[in-house]
């Protein structure tokens, strides 16, 4: 049984990696053919002022990449995951051999919700990226609209957890559970919005792929130990697809993930964290700030920077926010920032898995 479950996790993960590697040349061809990159440069800071330090980085460290590197690389991730997930389900239905039936991990109780979150977020992100590359220079779907979309979708998923799955509490290591009742819905919304804000970590070649792959790998392990094998297989399939993306995203990146990748992944990460909490008799939510620490520190650095400029007469804490760009601004090579984030992500994944499985 143990070997059978391991195969159910590892084969889909390997399959999504292989599919991602296989479709990358075709995806790259069309991204370059249709010039899927920003036609105009420039960036406005979170407080609405010109992003002076970012523009300096763009013209020195990242000279020319903004208008020459294709966006929408996240297509590789969600297409590979969806292809493998649905493909194995179809094989189990129409070629009902013991192997295919065992490998099918699409289930109402464990994988419908995270797959829905992935596809929903990726779809809105895709629309945003389409607007972002138009010759008119429009900067994607308005942030307020995207936040509203994430809020509505996450509110629906939060309601599903509460009303359909009976999730009314989160696990607290050492203390058992914190009963929230219907407040589980706004909590899920807040956590999802926070993770989505951390999606701006897709700002340096190779950075987002390493961070997200470590996070989903951790939750695959957590779900597996909880005997949520279908959820573990789905998380591992995501990891395989992200690693395929990372293969082509390491410096110099062939394409960037952008919103069609980050929106879907952050929304899915929130879902999986909740599913590995009380439904799995664990502490998936409590472990989330640890496992997703690079995303958390990205959001916090933005908040600190904006607050400092507002309440300290324009003074900044960081040369540039988010934090990974601050390290570039003080002279760290991009590859050093990326690799150190990878190391931190792996350590956080190990510590987070330990916390999530405490008994």
| Cα–Cα distance for residue pair 45/50, rounded to 1 Å | 6
Instruction: Please tell me what DSSP assigns to residue 357.
Output: T
| Cα–Cα distance for residue pair 248/73, rounded to 1 Å | 9
Grade residue 231 by pLDDT with cuts at 50, 70 and 90: very high
pLDDT for 314: 85
Burial of 294 (0-12, 13-18, 19+ CB in 10 A): buried
Rg of the chain (C-alpha set): 20
What is the tally of structural domains in the chain? Answer: 1
Domain assignment of residue 193, given as a range = 2-356
pLDDT tens digits, 187-201: 999 999 999 999 999
What pTM value is reported for the model? 0.94
Q: Under DSSP, is residue 50 helix (H, G, I), strand (E, B) or coil?
A: strand
By C-alpha distance, which of 117, 78, 82, 73 is closest to 267? 117
pLDDT tens digits, 136-156: 656 789 999 999 999 999 999
Per the structure block, which two tokens stand in for 19? 């599919």
pLDDT at 84 over 60: yes
Low-confidence winner among 36-40, 87-91, 154-158, 205-209 (lowest mean pLDDT) = 36-40
């Amino acid at each position: 049984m143990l070997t059978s479950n391991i195969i159910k996790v590892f084969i889909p993960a390997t399959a999504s990696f292989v599919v991602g590697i296989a479709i990358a040349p075709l995806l790259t061809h069309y991204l370059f053919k249709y010039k899927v990159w920003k036609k105009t440069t420039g960036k406005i800071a979170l407080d609405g002022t010109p992003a002076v330090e970012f523009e300096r980085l763009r013209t020195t460290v990242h000279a020319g990449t903004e208008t020459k590197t294709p966006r929408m690389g996240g297509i590789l991730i969600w297409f590979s995951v969806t292809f493998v997930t649905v493909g194995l389900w179809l094989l189990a239905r129409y070629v009902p051999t013991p192997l295919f039936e065992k490998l099918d991990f699409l289930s109402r109780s464990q994988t419908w919700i995270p797959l829905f979150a992935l596809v929903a977020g990726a779809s809105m992100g895709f629309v945003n990226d389409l607007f972002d590359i138009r010759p008119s220079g429009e900067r994607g779907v308005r942030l307020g609209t995207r936040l509203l979309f994430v809020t509505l979708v996450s509110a629906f998923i939060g309601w599903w957890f509460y009303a359909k799955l009976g999730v009314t509490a989160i696990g607290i290591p050492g203390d058992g559970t914190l009963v929230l009742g219907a407040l589980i819905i706004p909590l899920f919304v807040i956590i999802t919005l926070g993770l989505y804000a951390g999606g701006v970590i897709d700002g340096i070649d190779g950075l987002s792929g390493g961070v997200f792959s470590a996070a989903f790998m951790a939750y695959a392990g957590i779900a597996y130990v909880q005997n949520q094998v279908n959820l573990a297989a789905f998380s591992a399939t995501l990891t395989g697809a992200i690693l395929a993306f990372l293969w082509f995203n390491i410096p110099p990146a062939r394409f960037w993930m952008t919103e069609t990748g980050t929106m879907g992944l952050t929304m899915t990460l929130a879902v999986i964290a909740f599913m590995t909490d009380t439904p799995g008799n664990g502490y998936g939510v409590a472990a989330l700030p640890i496992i997703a620490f690079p995303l958390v520190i990205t959001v916090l650095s933005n908040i600190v920077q904006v607050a400092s400029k507002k309440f300290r007469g324009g003074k900044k804490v960081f040369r540039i926010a988010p934090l990974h760009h601050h390290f570039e601004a003080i002279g760290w090579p991009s590859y050093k920032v990326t690799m150190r984030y990878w190391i931190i992500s792996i350590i956080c994944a190990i510590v987070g898995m330990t916390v999530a499985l405490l008994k």
